[in-house]
Amino acid sequence: MIGKAIRLERIMNRNTGRTVVIPLDHGFSMGQIEGLGDMPRIIADISDGGANAIVLHKGMVKAGHRKHGRDIGLIVHLSASTSLNPDPNDKVMVCTVEEAIALGADAVSVHINLGAPHESRMIEEAGKVSRECTKWGMPLLIMIYPRGNGIDPHSPQAIGHCVRVAEELGADLIKTSYTGDPESFRKITSACSVPVLIAGGEKAADIESLETVREAITKGGCAGVALGRNSFQRENPKEFIQALCSVVHENKDPKEALKL
């Protein structure tokens, strides 16, 4: 497992054991959305802001390769769907672990929606990816959410179930929704043997986003964040990510972080 350990060092901060990941895979599902028109520029802002890693689909790796500036970890996303599909929760595989290795990835990620009609296929495919990741020494980030008819997407029981499924599949990192309550979230993270990251969701106010992150880390036991639209759709993404990294890695108060 030395390959996994080496690659994870490029994603996780050695001193804090935490990470700031900025997903940039939204174009596949949502089209030409605000903030992702100039990929080299936004990736440069993200890396200069101090983020640990970005998430890209395979076709955007070459578009986002800057050839200059601060290095940043690369996570290649393997699964996808579009918002035009009647069931956007139906994720299919569009890339392989071997393709990601050829692209220079430090990790790969897959998406699972528990409770969705095609849950069983998504779990099966994630299991195959996990096997390939073990074979090649590639870290696996599983993005997993409770989504389906009658399911509360912020239920601690449902989110806890998601985390357990990802852990049992062999995830090295898990991204899921925050319950909104640090006490219930700590019960989830304390029962999990791998780092759990919270998702960002839709864009919120600067201070509101940072306070949620700080609460989830200091009281909820989460190991970092994966903030997409909440980061790259800011008026100044670089400055917001600098503040975000100071909250995650330096335990800064959100108001102080924004002032700095």
| Catalytic machinery residues | 25, 145, 175
Which residue, among 156, 132, 131, 125, has the nearest Cα to 220 in the 3D structure?
A: 156
Distance of alpha carbon 97 from alpha carbon 107, whole angstroms: 9
Q: Phi and psi for 124 in degrees, rounded to 5? A: -60, -45
Apex CA 27: angle with CA 25 and CA 29, to 5°?
90
Distance of alpha carbon 124 from alpha carbon 103, whole angstroms: 24
Residue with tokens 């940039």: 24
Residue with tokens 């998504």: 122
